[in-house]
Amino acid sequence: MRYFIHFSYFGKNYHGWQVQPDAVSVQGELTKALSLLLKSEIEIVGAGRTDSGVHAKEMYAHFDFDKEINGKNLTKKLNSFLPKDIAVFDVFRVDKQAHARFDAIKRTYEYHIHLKKDAFKEDFSWYFYRDLDVEQMNRACEVLFRYIDFQCFSKANTDVFTYNCKISEAFWKNEGNSLIFTISADRFLRNMVRAIVGTFIGVGLHKISIEGFEEIIKSKNRSKAGFSVPAHGLYLTKVEYPYI
């Protein structure tokens, strides 16, 4: 029987989602907890991979188990056993063919920037003190919808079959002394959102024109794009499935 886990995590203390040798990961903590509570070697498949330090307000993963599980009870036990920075919302049974990664039809990320120094936001948002032209950054967002190949924003030497991603939503929003960038797509490349945001910073500082932003995408060259912004401002906020 296949089960989905619906959960969230604060990524500061983790080297990303995926299990790595000699490093603490979210996948590793969940695997350890489930295997102990179910008294069986459990393998977990996540909806995607977040980099070291990136957070997830919503994440899904699946695992197989040969017995009926009371999702409500297991959720309570997991939350008691897991570290305080991983929170499970639900565990529920799905069709045997359901897949947390391949069945996801849309993923949404947010990147948070605060424009005035704030000691209480340091772990949750990136501090950037210079003035940004948000209107110009939103104009550049419209360019993203014209393309599907985003190799220029992908981490180098990434083992993927295609750099194509269909972006369905991208915009910047002012909230007090904060800026929030929201982007949705069917899939994302490694480091893609952080590279896009870093390039938008160049647009907001008037160092990159709208035309220049488009030329960067056309170039398919990572070195032409902007820097990769720090991980701690990035959140996976939503993962959507056709059956949930």
Q: How far apart are CA 177 and CA 118, in angstroms?
A: 10
From the list 182, 232, 199, 210, the residue with the least C-alpha distance to 9 is 232
CB under 8 Å to 176, separation ≥6 — which residues?
Answer: none
Q: How far is CA 139 from the centre of its chain?
A: 23
DSSP H helices, 82-225, are: 134-144, 192-204, 210-219
Q: How far apart are CA 184 and CA 145, in angstroms?
A: 11
Which pair of structure tokens corresponds to residue 96?
A: 């045997």
Instruction: List, by residue number, the catalytic residues.
Output: 51
The structure tokens 């360019």 sit at: 143
Which pair of structure tokens corresponds to residue 167?
A: 């972006």
